[in-house]
Amino acid sequence: MKIRFHFIPLLALLVLVASCGKDNFTEPKSTLSGQIVYKGEPIGVEYNQVRLQLWQPGFGKLAAIDAQVDQDGSYSALLFNGKYKMVVPKGRGPFKTLEKDAAAKDTLFVTLEGNQQVDLEVMPYYMIRTPQFAGAENKVTATLKLEKIITDASAKGIERVSLFINKTEFVSRATNVSVTDIAGADIKNLNAITVETEIPALVPTQKYVFARVGVKIKDVEDMIFSPVQKVEF
């Protein structure tokens, strides 16, 4: 019996080791990363809402590799070396993509060899400037300016400006503990916007929240956001 007790774990180990076959593919090793920017400034979005698509032609049927854009406008994808086309799905993102020429349209051609940084330059409808957050007893106040970037025929109005707060640094429409909206019609001066929201009772208690301001543009799905800021109160 004693021998058997030693024998069983050894056998189990053998089975485990034996079933680790060698894969006949090497795993992808090159990281493509970067940010969505306007004139070098990152564009904040909601996490898991805006995505880039990477298409790699030349291997038969096509399917996009999705790269989700993070809250600070950054993205990354682990890929095989090769030639990729990077696009933003039509209608997504709080911005317009830039068309280089009639043939390439807004596609960005990336030749990946090793890790690479590629920033995607876009044209946002608005930019949030100088967002300031201040915490007080049970409330957070944000002041900001909005700069209208697109002013031609395709310009769009503001539907609302919202201040979101959350217990963690993931702050979005879907995850927040409190939100206050100002309708676009009520905004008279783009250079002086103030939003205030109350902090509800937090369980467990914490003396800080994370805040960010988002702007919903009319007829555009995704909102543009300020950076997330930790606010003590």
Partner 1 sequence: MKKIFYIPVFVMLLLSWGCNDDEFLNRPPTNILTEEQVWGDEGQVLSLLGNLYNRYVDLGNFRDFERPGLDNLTGWTRVADFNEAFWSESGRYKEFQNSGWDLNTWSIWDYGYIREMNLFIQKCEAAEKLSPEVKDRYLAEARFLRASYYFELVKRMGGVPLILEPMTYDFSGDPTYLQHARAKESEIYDFVIKEADEIKTKLPANAAEKSRVTQAAVLAMQARAALYAGSLAKYGVNTPSVSLPGGEVGIPATLATGYYTKALNAAKEIISGSVGTYSLYNKKPDLSENFASIFYDKANNPEVIFADDYKLQSGKVHYFTGSNQPRYGAEEEEGGRINPSLNFVEAFEKLDNTFARIPTTNAAGAPLYYANQTDIFEGRDARLGGTVMLPGTTFKGRTVDIWAGFQLANGSIVSGDDRGAQKTLPGKTVPEQVVGFDGPIDGFEFTAQTGFYLRKYLDPVVGSGQRGVNSEVWFIRYRYAEVLLNAAEAAFELGQPAAAAGYMNQVRARAGLVKPLVAAEITFDRVAHERRVELAFEGHYHYDIQRWRIAHIIMDGNAISAADLSKDLGKATKRNTQPWALWSYKVYEPGSPNNGKWIYKPVKLSRVTGADRFQLGNYYSLITDEVINNNPKIIRNPNH
Q: Contact positions toward partner 1, by CB under 8 A?
A: 61-64, 89-92, 173-176, 179, 219-221
Cβ distance to partner 1 smaller for residue 100 or 218: 218
Q: Provide, rounded to whole angstroms, the least separation between the CB of residue 128 and partner 1.
A: 19
Rg (CA), the chain: 24
Cβ distance to partner 1 smaller for residue 123 or 134: 123
Tell me the C-alpha distance between 143 and 225, whole Å. Answer: 13
The CA-CA-CA angle for residues 59, 60, 61, to 5°, reads: 115
Task: Give the strand pairing for 51-55 and 82-87.
Answer: antiparallel
Q: Provide, rounded to whole angstroms, the least separation between the CB of residue 166 and partner 1.
A: 12
Q: Provide, rounded to whole angstroms, the least separation between the CB of residue 21 and partner 1.
A: 28
Tell me the C-alpha distance between 192 and 169, whole Å. Answer: 26
Q: Provide, rounded to whole angstroms, the least separation between the CB of residue 9 and partner 1.
A: 36
Cβ-proximal residues to 65 (8 Å cutoff; 6+ apart), any chain: 53, 54, 55, 56, 77, 79
Q: Provide, rounded to whole angstroms, the least separation between the CB of residue 89 and partner 1.
A: 6
Instruction: Concatenate the DSSP letters of all residues of 132-178 into one string.
Output: EEEEETTEEEEEEEEEE---STT---EEEEEEEEESSS--SSSS-SE
Q: Is the peptide bond before 204 cis (omega within 30 degrees of 0)?
A: yes
Cβ distance to partner 1 smaller for residue 36 or 87: 87
Cβ distance to partner 1 smaller for residue 175 or 194: 175
Q: Provide, rounded to whole angstroms, the least separation between the CB of residue 61 and partner 1.
A: 4
Helices and strands per DSSP (H, E), number in the chain? 1, 18
Cβ distance to partner 1 smaller for residue 32 or 220: 220
Cβ distance to partner 1 smaller for residue 38 or 51: 51
Tell me the C-alpha distance between 107 and 84, whole Å. Answer: 10
